[in-house]
Amino acid sequence: MEKSNSYLQARKKKGKSLFIPFVVLGDPNKNSSLEIVKTLIENGANALELGFPFSDPPADGPVIQAADMRALESGICTDDCFDLLKDIRKTTDIPIGLLIYYNLILQRGVDRFYKDCSDAGVNSVLIADLPLEHAQEVVPIAKKHGIAPVFIISELSSDERIKNVAEMSDGYLYVVSYLGVTGVKESVLEGKIKDTIDRARKYTNLPLCVGFGINSAQQAQVAVKAGADGVIVGSRIIKEVPNTKKIAQICEELRLAIG
């Protein structure tokens, strides 16, 4: 797959909304993490979103924060994460995206980080704490290495901002289902998601993938009914780490829910 078009190709191949599970690399340790990701792939993932463990993830709720700490306490480092990505890429050709915090990229060096992503078979990178106003610090380098830059939109995004995000983005657009941190909302409001998706459709043909607060099959169905091209699920899966049998069951339920 050509990296920049991989999500669109995956969407067309499936013909329905994509199931995109999220886990933290190295949680609870390097070997178990690889088995968990293989379980996701074997149970219906059409793309992966993976995190590098970070000690202070401001966009994440307690479930993902705990996953970060488990991984860090196991001794996982950035080099280990790239090793894991290379091992994962050997087993699948589905799109692999990273959701990461900017400090980790700066520590490694922006050019080196994106080159390492390319060498490891990564398709996209979303930097959770990088505002659009500073996107030019990374976008040209990301594209130089064939990595799709992904950005977030929400119900608060103006049409002008959505247009700017769409012009800057590649791969897909991440649509936040509600305002706040990941994994704590008990309901997802179809009307608000639909409005955001409908407005974004005016400016891009990239897949629009909904995340934050997708914790059940019912919520996944709400997102799909609102027009989502993909559903990103993290906390619900991470709650079951390292129980791969339970993770497989949840993946199957979510995959069936979105068709």
Domain boundaries, the chain: 3-257
What is the predicted pLDDT for the residue at 132? 94
Q: Compute the half-sphere exposure of residue 50: CA atoms within 13 Å on the CB side of its CA.
A: 33
Q: CA-CA distances (angstroms) from residue 225 to 1, 150, 222, 228?
A: 28, 23, 5, 7
The class level of CATH for 3-257 reads alpha beta
Instruction: Quick: pLDDT tens for 13-22.
Output: 877 899 999 9
Sign of torsion over alpha carbons 164, 169, 175, 181: negative
Q: How confident is the model at residue 171 (pLDDT cuts 50, 70, 90)?
A: very high
Q: CA-CA distances (angstroms) from residue 141 to 46, 70, 146, 168?
A: 26, 31, 9, 13
With beta carbons less than 8 A apart as the criterion, state whether 215 and 180 touch. no
What is the predicted pLDDT for the residue at 16? 82
Residue tagged active-site, from 35, 42, 49, 167: 49
What is the predicted pLDDT for the residue at 58? 85
Residue tagged active-site, from 27, 42, 60, 186: 60
Does 116 participate in catalysis according to the annotation? Answer: no
**Which has more confidence, 60 or 51?**
51
With beta carbons less than 8 A apart as the criterion, state whether 3 and 215 touch. no
* CA 205/CA 209 separation, integer angstroms: 12
Does 119 participate in catalysis according to the annotation? Answer: no
Cα–Cα–Cα angle for 59, 62, 162, nearest 5°? 20
Whether the per-residue pLDDT at 184 is higher than 60: the answer is no
Instruction: Quick: pLDDT tens for 77-133.
Output: 999 999 999 999 999 999 999 999 999 999 999 999 999 999 999 999 999 999 999
Per the prediction, the chain carries an average pLDDT of 93
Whether the per-residue pLDDT at 173 is higher than 50: the answer is yes
Whether the per-residue pLDDT at 190 is higher than 90: the answer is no
With beta carbons less than 8 A apart as the criterion, state whether 48 and 97 touch. yes
Q: How confident is the model at residue 179 (pLDDT cuts 50, 70, 90)?
A: low
